[in-house]
Copies of this chain bind each other. A is one copy, B any other.
Amino acid sequence: MADNGKNGNQFSVIGKRIAMIDSAGKTTGAGKYTDDLAVPGMLIGKILHATLPHARIAKIDTRKAMLLEGVVCVVVGTDAPNKYGILPVGHDETALAVDKVRYVGDNVACVVAVDEQTAENAMELIEVEYEPLPAYFDPEEAMKATSDLIHDHKANNIEKDYHHVFGDPDAGFAEADEIIEGRYIANEVTHAAMEPHSTLAQFDIDSQTGQPTKLTVWSSTQVPYYLQHKLSIVLDMPMAQIRVIKPLVGGGFGGKSEVIPLEIIAAVAARKAKAPVKITYTREEVFWAHRGRPRTIVDLKTGVKRDGRITAVAAKVIQDGGAYCSYGVVTILYSGALLGALYDIPHIKYDGYRVLTNKPACGAMRGHGTVNVRFAFESQLDELAAKIGMDTASIRQKNLLQAPTITVNGLRVQSYGLPECIEKTVARSAWHARKGKLGRGRGLGIACSHYVSGAANSIIRSDMPHSTVNLKLDRDGGVVIYTGASEIGQGSDTMIAQVVAETLGCTLARVKVIAADTDLTPIDIGSYSSRVTFMNGNAGIRAAQDVKGKMVSAAAKRMQCAPEDVIMRDDFVFKRGVVPEGEEHRAHELLRVRETRKIEDGQVLRDQVQMKRRSDETPEYMSFEEAVAVALSEHRALTGTGSYSPPQEARGGKHKGGGVGPSPAYSYSAQVAEVTVDEDTGVVTVQKVWAAHDCGRALNPVSVEGQVIGSVWMGLGQALQEEMVWKDGLLMNPGLLEYRSASVVESPEIECIIVESVDPEGPFGAKEASEGSLAAAIPAVANAIYDAVGIRLREAPFTPERVLAALRAKKGVAKKIDMTEGVDPTAPERFREHGGSLWFKGKGPKRHAQDPSVVKNPAVAGD
């Protein structure tokens, strides 16, 4: 670790603070997001959403809508009834509802018209006759159901349950000196990415038959290749006839990591309209599309010895998954599998239930599957430390893994920076000097977390590469990278440019990245589970090594030396010894002097392909361009390919890691939060967070810092104010003002401490950086609140109401909390009147001006 620090000359591109290579388009406004796109003849699609949470569709009458001038067609469920969903399970969705609707906001019909206003007007003319069914909003109630199931084949509305036992939990608990059991609840949150979902679909129309043929889809997605696959299923077309292009994406956080209804609906609509169709969600629709983190009920039991060693853990987890499977089977699996890879826990029992309810489907969200269980675990560990009178940092240090190791549930851990993470946050926060000594109302809390660097087992096929990268070098000296990886703001384009430049020994300026276009680029299964740097990066290194081998062999012949004596660095290709040993990082500076002299000697050759020297001279060094020309003369073409799949050893046992739990490497985080609690208002203010993250190697420190800070910030949102508020299946706060992610003035200082454990499997040692820190933030705040005012909050977010209730309970004064208190009771009726919108759709931004009482935000309501 800190390899880069110890030997700052090891790399030229890696480890440097580099601006994102796509920043120009984003900062000047020239960059195009999907909704910025237009093609000739493009129409607009608007989706009519269900106004009931659970109902059979008796009839959809679109005749009046069709008569409206400017309406081209109306698409309904029977236009594309093939079911799709997340691979390889959960094929439970259709483009539009076929037989019944399962949540308020479910997709009923799509109007295609010449403009948005016409489409909105037409929506109000569609007549839908529903036969209401009993609806389920609470997962524990839904599990009891025997009739009116949400999906007929899902008994008791259970999407999936897992029952895993590792080691001997009974024996473990018997050994324990202290045991605590408790229920922890984390309420539902969503991604709230800045860019709303948007999709533009266009078919080629056969000029002879007039029929749609090839399909091109531009979509704001994290998973272009999954989208291509799902479109193939729904449209009954070969994948090779479908091209998916990902324009700039303004954030995903998991909300675009699966195929979202509008993506399928736009394509079905374009087929029916025989014209390009674009659909962009309103912000309200983004909330209904959801796929965020489920409300999770964790019944947790942990036993420890008096010295702090954990002896056993048992968890029962119930997730309120909403009306469709989505990533649910993965979420509930991760919740169990990743219980075991942070600390050395000898015995684990896990019972997980993913439950269907009549609400929008939950899916993957930053820290997928781990966040809510980690909140429970790290909270309970604090309670145990208090019980045995141990420092809460020390109890974590007591339970460290001894890496390299295989965990009790079969996960391979090769690099493990958690000890250093704890050490550094403790030191930077002056933990031992300040913990418990800050006075009433101010406290410190610590928590840890971790995350996968992608899933080791592909959820598609075990024998396919997770990432392939192709390279092309032309005589112009340009390096072109073709990667399927999806830049969604996380920096993957910059990452792949860096690892290729470093491997090839060239400057970043000559590297171009062509990304995320299923026609142009080889497969990468998507930007999710923090897999891109690890897998795409490794594929990129291999592709670069492929090309480098060809360049080195040609250069060796030209310079008359052994291939192993050819060094490529900083745009120079030189014989070992031309610059003094250890000075290779200064090759650019040292050779440039001689280069200048040579250019002065010769004529000016502007094509920059060849250095100035007689062609019969045996060079000792060459420019990168010259080395390319030399290699092209020998090999005719300079292309390279590299693929990566995690090795078998990292894939875990089928019944241990459970299919998707294992990863080729795990990141580790430790955080200390400092909070103040106002005991009169119940308002919790985070003063500062020290966040240490073991990312293996920071390929681009500025990018790692951005990801860690962003993750902590998002965790603080879930800790303090973000919560989806429901009333009979109707979301009461589907707007950014009401959902209340923290603004910049509400956000505390977050000090990021990068820890580099240099993973042996990672690209240049790198592993996950962009999700793992999130999970620690919530329990760190909970633990800090306990330190500040002595109350243990077991339900997130820790709103003023919950804090005040806990303070009162401590004093023996109980009061039930109703999060919908203050909400306009007519909201559901108005929603139905307006054909599926709280916000008077299409009538401009009148939300608060017209009716400020629609949502009275519970977090700011007095008691």
Contact = CB atoms under 8 A, between A and B. Distances in A.
Contacts of A463: 632-633
A619 interface: no
Contact of A207 (B27, B213, B239, B243): B27
Q: Which of A463, A518, A636, A643 has the most CB of B within 10 A?
A: A636
Contacts of A482: 472
A518 B240 contact: no
A335 interface: no
A522 B476 contact: no
Contacts of A641: 636-637, 639
Interface string A487-528: 000000000000000000000011010100011101100000
Interface in A205-254: 205-208, 213, 228-229, 232-233, 236, 238-243
B241 A509 contact: yes
Contacts of A477: 238-240
Contacts of A233: 606-607
Nearest to A640: B639
Interface string A630-647: 001100110101110100
Nearest to A469: B637
Choose among A24, A236, A477 the residue with the greatest number of B CB atoms under 10 Å from its CB: A24
Contact of A205 (B24, B236, B476): B24
Contact of A519 (B41, B468, B512): B512
Contact of A24 (B28, B204, B645): B204
Nearest to A229: B607
A207 B28 contact: yes
A163 to B, nearest CB: 28
A475 interface: yes
A478 interface: yes
Contacts of A518: 474, 476, 478
Interface residues of A, number: 66
Given A476-B228, A636-B468, A239 B607 contact: yes
B522 A608 contact: no
Interface string A13-28: 0000001000111011
Nearest to A26: B207
Contacts of A639: 470, 522, 639, 641
A579 interface: no
B241 A632 contact: no
When all copies of this chain in the complex are counted, the total is: 2
Contacts of A606: 82, 232-233, 236
Nearest to A523: B474
A29 interface: yes
Contacts of A213: 24
A166 to B, nearest CB: 31
B633 A643 contact: no
A40 interface: yes
A636 B632 contact: no
Interface centre among A24, A27, A463, A639 (most CB of B within 10 A): A639
B41 A30 contact: yes
A388 interface: no
Interface string A669-709: 00000000000000000000000000000000000000000
A470 B474 CA distance: 12
B633 A464 contact: yes
A20 to B, nearest CB: 10
A637 B520 contact: no
A419 interface: no
Contacts of A82: 606
9 contacts: A232-B476, A233-B607, A239-B608, A468-B636, A470-B637, A474-B522, A480-B520, A514-B520, A636-B643
Given A241-B509, A463-B633, 8 more contacts: A27-B207, A240-B477, A241-B510, A242-B476, A472-B482, A474-B518, A514-B520, A636-B643
